[in-house]
Structure 1
Amino acid sequence: MEAPRQKRPYEKPQGERRGLLLVYTGDGKGKSTAAFGLALRAFGRGLKVRVFQFIKHATARFGEHRAFALLGVPVEGLGDGFTWKSRDLEASARLAREGWARAKEALLSGAYDLVVLDEATYPLRYGWIPLEEFLEALRSRPAHVHVVVTGRGAPEALLDLADTVTEMRKVKHAFDQGVPAQRGIEH
């Protein structure tokens, strides 16, 4: 047991307000979910939000797609599904590069207050998107644009550039006990 805090445990920051780069990485569940929660929070505060998913295909209709569609938040699938299901990894790489061009354009346009680059660490790790080009786009974005990047194995250079990094760590997972993914809960 611990007593509730009655004094603020920190000094109020005095720095500038600006677009932040947040990275959610690690082997635990919840990276995309955290990004979508942030997108929902931003949208609820009147910010313009755009979501790009680098692994999901363009016609995906998962729960987040359905919810964001009801809100009018654009979500674009840029991939062709899990790489282990791909029939043509060169085509997967091409989709990632073409999708990155669209995501980069949205990021640099300044038209959005929050851009979510969900599962972007994978095409970076596979060499499908040049890391330095990705980092340069993040550095060059308009000052007000917040960005969230998700995925396992985020490159060290991305972590160094980020303002906030959260690593999701698996403690226990139902899948390891033979429980399959459950629609609307996890996939």
Structure 2
Amino acid sequence: MPYGQAVDPTAFYAEAMRLFRNRKPLVAAVEGAAVGAGLGLALLTDFRVTCPEARFSANFNRLGFHPGFGLSLTLPRLVGAQKAAMLFYTGRRIGGEEAVAIGLADELVDKVQVLPRAMALTQDIAASAPLAVASTRRSLREGLAEQVAEANQQELAIQREQFRTEDFREGVAAMAARRLPVFHGR
């Protein structure tokens, strides 16, 4: 498939929904880029451990299309509507320090400590009563998977329309050329 041609993310979203419906807490170790769908993947977890070198970006609008992966629901839920709007509309990349400051990530450690700290956090969780953890997670995330599935369907319908636009082609071409896009609203 040629670079810049849209891929139908239906199967990808279906797999992500399997992770959303998981009954056990998930911890992400983010030591590099969590951009676009990678950000969506990071946000389906319960906790994110990161480092100053990490990069987070909801770059969809900069590429010429609507956010996906349920991010229109999960990002505002995590950081608030105003901060989410800023990240969506600008596609701005933020580092690990800012991600922790705005609530996008939970812990900031040195890069070499990201995975060990994420593993230690999973061990901290595993030391708690499994039935209590599972029921608490179920209460905290009540209805979230269903809401995300609905958001995915809405986002996907919008994306499919926008994947056929000149703006989408320009956004992808600009990213490939490492230049700012010039959009025309068509």
Q: Same fold (TM over 0.5)?
A: no
The structure with higher relative contact order (CA 8 Å, sep 6+) is: 1
Which one has the bigger helix percentage? 2
TM bucket, shorter chain: under 0.3
More strand by share: 1
